[in-house]
Structure 1
Amino acid sequence: MYNPGEEIVQIVDRNNMETEVVPRRIMREQGLIHRASYILVFNEQKELFLQKRTATKDLYPSCWDVAAGGVVLAGESYEESAHRELAEELGVAGVSFTPLFDQYFEEDDNRVWGRIFSCVHNGPFQLQEEEVASGCFMSVSDIFKLSENEDFTPDGIDILRKVAQ
C-alpha cells in the first residue's frame, strides 16, 4: 500500500540549495525547508480551477487550494514535479506550462521554496480521490471573495495575490 509519508523528498536551505534527502514524514515532523511545484490551471475564459483538499491531507486538510502541485521528490526537477503532480491530482497530461516565478514561503509548519507555473486546460478532470475532494472553475475575483469566509491554503492564496497584481 502506498504511503506518501515515505516519499523521499529534496530538502534545501533558505537559499534553495540542496542539503539532504529525507522521507516526507521526517520533513513534516521537523519542519524542514523543501521544494514544491504549484500549477495554476486556467480555462479559456481565464477562470482558475479551485480545489477542495481532502480531510486526510498532511498539510492544510479540507482547505481550498488555488493550485495543483506538491512536494518535489529527490532527484526531480520543479518541472518534472509539476507534470507528475498535475497528472496525479487532476488527470491532466501533455499540457504546456508557463513558468511564472519562484518564491519562499514560511508559516508555522510549512517552509517551502515553490516554483509557480500556469497552464490552460478546460477539463474534464480526473480528480485524485486521496487528495482532491472536489473542484470547480471560478473567477479570480470570486476566489478572493470566497477566501474571506472559507479556509484556503495560505501559500496558495499568497501566490494568487501575486499573480493578480
Structure 2
Amino acid sequence: MSELVEHVDERDRVLGVVERGEAERQHWPHRIATTICRDRAGRILVLRRSETHSRFPGYYDVMVGGAVDGGESYEEAAARELSEELGVREPVRFMFKFLCREGTSPVWFGVHEAVVTEPLIPDPGEIAWQGWLTEAELCEVVDQRLFVPGGRKALRRYLESGSGSGAGELGAE
C-alpha cells in the first residue's frame, strides 16, 4: 500500500490526504518529521543514507525522519521514525519548522531534538553508516561532503537557534 501524507499549503494547513509519490510528482508540499540527535556529550549524530534509499542515496544527513502520516502530529511522527530508523525510544522535543523547497518536492520540515542514551540499532535499509561529531567537526565537513540539502538547512537553523554552542558557525544558507 502507498504511503499516505497530508498535502498542505504554504502555511502548513491541511488541504487533503494524498499518496506521497503523487505529492512528490506534483510538487505538492507535505510534512516531514525529523530529529537531530545528540549524545550525552553534546555531539551530533551524522549518518550516511544507504545506497538503496529512495531519496538521496549515499548522502550524509543530520536528520532522522520521514513523512508524517495523515492525522499524525509532527512529534508523533518524529518519535515513530526515531524508533524505526535507529531502534531507540527517546523523548523528542519540537524545535522549529520551515518550508524547504530544495530536494524532491517542497516539504515542511518539523525539526526536533533528542538526546540519545540508548545504543543505536540502525535500519540498514535506511542507514549505511553513522557517527557522532562535535559541532566543530560537523561544521568542517557539512559543506565538503554530499549532504541532503534540507538537512544542511535544518542544521544551520538548529545551530543558529542557540540549541548548540556553535550557533552561527555554518554561515549563511
Using the TM superposition, give the Cα deviation of residue 108 of structure 1 relative to its aligned residue in structure 2, in angstroms: 4.9
Question: Unaligned stretches of 5+ in structure 2?
Answer: 161-173
Q: Once the two structures are superposed, what CA deviation does each residue of 1:110-141 show, in whole Å capped at 9, x if it has no partner?
A: 31111111011134111111111110111122
Q: Is the 8 A contact 2:34 2:63 kept in 1?
A: yes
**Residue 70 (structure 1) aligned to one of 66, 70, 81:** 66
TM-score of the aligned structures, taking structure 2 as reference length = 0.87
Structure 2 residue 126 is the aligned partner of structure 1 residue 126:
no
In the alignment, which residue of structure 1 is the partner of 2:109?
114
| C-alpha separation in 1, matches of 2:149 and 2:128 | 18
What percentage of aligned pairs have identical amino acids? 29
2:47 matched to which residue of 1?
Answer: 51
Cα deviation, residue 61, structure 1: 1.5
Aligned equivalent of 1:97, options 67, 92, 95: 92
Aligned CA distance change for structure 1 residues 117 and 108 (closer, same or farther; 3 Å): closer
In the superposition, relative to structure 1, how do residues 59 and 143 fare at CA in structure 2: closer, same or farther (>3 Å)? same
Q: Distance in 2 between matches of 1:18 and 1:61?
A: 29
Does residue 7 of the first structure (1) align with residue 30 of the second (2)? Answer: no
Tell me which amino acid in the other structure corresponds to 1:110: S
CA distance in 1, matches of 2:68, 2:52: 20
Whole-Å separation in 1 of the counterparts to 2:40 and 2:104 = 36
Q: Is the 8 A contact 2:36 2:114 kept in 1?
A: yes
Q: Which runs of 4+ in 1 moved over 6 A?
A: none
Tell me, yes or no, if the aligned pair for 2:79 and 2:91 is still in contact at 8 Å: no
2:17 corresponds in structure 1 to 21
Q: Which amino acid aligns with 1:148?
A: D
Aligned to 1:146: 141
SS at match of 1:50: strand
**Residues 90/31 of structure 1: CA separation in 2 closer, same or farther (3 Å cut):** same
TM-score of the two chains, using structure 1 as the length reference: 0.91
Matches within 5 A, 1:77-92: 77-92=73-88
- Cα RMSD for the two superposed structures: 1.4
Letter in 1 for 2:4: I
Gaps of 5+ in 1: none
Residues 108 and 39 of structure 1: CA distance in aligned 2, closer, same or farther (over 3 Å): closer
> Counterpart amino acid of 1:88?
E
Give the count of matched residue pairs.
160
| Structure 1 residues 37 and 108, CA gap change in structure 2 (3 angstroms) | closer
